[in-house]
Amino acid sequence: MAESLLEVKDLVKYYPLTQGVLFRKQVGAVKAVDGVSFRLRAGETLGIVGESGCGKSTVARMLVNLERPTAGSITYKGEDISRLSGRALKAVRRNIQMVFQDPYTSLNPRMTVGDIIGEPYEIHPEVAPKGDRRRRVQELLDVVGLNPEYINRYPHQFSGGQRQRIGIARGLALQPEIIVADEPVSALDVSVQAQVVNLLEKLQDEFGLSYVFIAHDLSIVRHISDRVGVMYLGRIVEIGTDAEIYEHPTHPYTQALLSAVPVPDPQARAHRERIILSGDVPSPAAPPSGCRFRTRCWKAQERCTTEVPLLAVPEVFTSGPAAHPSACHFAAEKRVVPHMPPQEGGRPVGKDTD
Ligand SMILES: Nc1ncnc2c1ncn2[C@@H]1O[C@H](COP(=O)(O)OP(=O)(O)OP(=O)(O)O)[C@@H](O)[C@H]1O
Ligand code: SF4
Ligand SMILES: [Mg+2]
């Protein structure tokens, strides 16, 4: 495997909780991200999954420098980019671009598609001189499967899937190396989701891109990812290759999430054990002591209350697919999804027709 392009270490983001109108006083903090570490290798896709509010978008925003971490580092090609400013920050930003979740709100309705896609060139004119921009934008439209003649149209003249293609074209304008895609297909109809995922895969091959792909839909993540990290309440609880996570999960939370994934084959579905979690996700302003998952974990014991489980390969597994990092004191393999080749396990992958 190629070496790391991006290395995230002990990333933390706390949002202050304040009280009072005139004299605002900090009374606590929302611990949105609380010690996240992972690597992204050149050309790979790292999927990040987890329930709503677990901190996925906060990680994404820090990766593209829309927000500064409270602590921790983001190393890109050997340099910590989380504290950069000015020209150095601008140069790095060019290489790490974001595709947003909602193609309805992320595109300015008063701008033409040409202006939307070409806007990044205003900040980075060195990538495309003024006289060449229109041609570049038309090329980008073609690359994402849209008619280059649509350059003067407005976002409302496109379908949801087409708007997301526009968002992707904009993300590609500066020829980045890394794309952070935050739930890029969640707002789209199921029938269109596969087309956009296919497009992202095609672009990855064509331009050698690396992706951080965020979603709460485990089927979609499996389809596109080489490795997958599972988040719970601001932390990664398990990380590994897609086969390790989907077929040999060792963390109870991953097992519970997987047990809820739709299984297309009725026979396999009948043999699948559904794990229903009790209780709600605790507030990130007051996470439980020890293991954050303990208030919902059916395996929790005394030790889980006092000792934070580290994300590391559990000692009980010395080799094989279960030997991947899992933050559980009592990690144990449990297959919850019947074995299926990834193509069939994910959503059906249709032709690009939208
Ligand atoms: N600017 C902010 N100020 C205060 N709290 C915030 C802010 N942004 C996010 N949070 C909180 O941080 C936590 C993580 O939010 P985040 O948006 O990263 O979650 P997520 O995993 O992306 O969720 P979803 O799946 O719903 O998109 C949530 O509790 C959220 O309310
Ligand atoms: S450490 Fe304890 S509470 Fe946490 S997942 Fe493992 S068994 Fe459950
Ligand atoms: Mg989010």
State pLDDT tens for residues 187-200: 888 889 999 999 99
Q: Which spans in 119-238 are helix H?
A: 120-123, 133-143, 160-172, 190-207, 218-224
pLDDT band per the 50, 70, 90 thresholds, residue 229: very high
Find which of 151-155, 215-219, 278-282 is predicted with most confidence, using mean pLDDT.
151-155
Q: Which residues contact 259 (CB under 8 A, 6 or more apart)?
A: 272, 273, 274, 275, 336, 337
**Given a cut of 60, is residue 43 above it in pLDDT?**
yes
Contact between residue 347 and residue 223 where contact means Cβ atoms under 8 Å apart: yes
Instruction: Indicate the range of 183-187, 205-209, 229-233 predicted with least confidence.
Output: 183-187
Mean pLDDT of 205-233: 94
Q: Which two tokens stand for residue 16?
A: 């202050």
| Closest ligand, as measured to the CA of 100 | 3
Which region, left, alpha or beta, applies to residue 17 given φ > 0 means left and ψ of -120 to 50 means alpha? beta
Q: Which residues contact 21 (CB under 8 A, 6 or more apart)?
A: none
What residues does ligand 1 touch, defined as CB less than 6 Å away? 15, 30, 32, 50, 52-58, 216, 284
**Residue labelled with tokens 């598609």:** 113
> pLDDT > 90: what percent of the chain?
73
Mean pLDDT of 103-109: 83
Q: Which residues contact 81 (CB under 8 A, 6 or more apart)?
A: 65, 74, 75, 89, 92, 96
In degrees, to the nearest 5, what angle opens at C-alpha 184 toward C-alphas 244 and 54? 60
* CATH match of 1-19+27-108+176-354 with 3.30.1490.20: no
pLDDT of residue 339: 63
**Given a cut of 50, is residue 347 above it in pLDDT?**
no
Q: Point out the ligand 1 atom lying closest to the alpha carbon of residue 101.
A: 27
**Given a cut of 60, is residue 352 above it in pLDDT?**
no
Q: Point out the ligand 2 atom lying closest to the alpha carbon of residue 301.
A: 2
pLDDT tens for each residue of 289-333 = 999 999 999 999 999 999 999 999 999 999 999 999 999 999 999
Which region, left, alpha or beta, applies to residue 183 given φ > 0 means left and ψ of -120 to 50 means alpha? left
Which protein residue has the closest C-alpha to ligand 1 atom 2? 15
> pLDDT > 70: what percent of the chain?
95
Contact between residue 256 and residue 270 where contact means Cβ atoms under 8 Å apart: no
Q: Point out the ligand 1 atom lying closest to the alpha carbon of residue 60.
A: 18
pLDDT band per the 50, 70, 90 thresholds, residue 345: very low
Ligand 2 pocket test, candidate residues 254, 328, 333, 334, most atoms within 8 A of CB = 328
- For the chain, what are the domain ranges? 1-19+27-108+176-354
SS3 content of the chain, % helix, strand, coil (to 5): 35, 20, 45
Which protein residue has the closest C-alpha to ligand 1 atom 13? 32
| Closest ligand, as measured to the CA of 305 | 2
Q: Point out the ligand 2 atom lying closest to the alpha carbon of residue 309.
A: 1
pLDDT band per the 50, 70, 90 thresholds, residue 241: very high
Q: How far apart are CA 171 and CA 179, in angstroms?
A: 7
**Given a cut of 50, is residue 17 above it in pLDDT?**
yes
Residue, of 272 and 249, whose pLDDT is higher: 249
pLDDT band per the 50, 70, 90 thresholds, residue 153: very high
Residue, of 265 and 44, whose pLDDT is higher: 44
Comparing CA positions, the residue from 180, 53, 165, 152 lying closest to residue 103 is 165
pLDDT of residue 335: 81
**Given a cut of 90, is residue 18 above it in pLDDT?**
no
Contact between residue 342 and residue 222 where contact means Cβ atoms under 8 Å apart: yes
Q: How far apart are CA 163 and CA 113, in angstroms?
A: 9
52, with CB counted inside 10 A (0-12, 13-18, 19+), is exposed
Instruction: Indicate the range of 37-41, 214-218, 269-273 predicted with least confidence.
Output: 269-273
pLDDT of residue 231: 98
pLDDT tens for each residue of 133-149 = 999 999 999 999 999 99
Comparing CA positions, the residue from 259, 284, 285 lying closest to residue 272 is 259
pLDDT band per the 50, 70, 90 thresholds, residue 350: very low
Across the chain, mean pLDDT equals 90
The model carries a pTM of 0.92
**Given a cut of 90, is residue 227 above it in pLDDT?**
yes
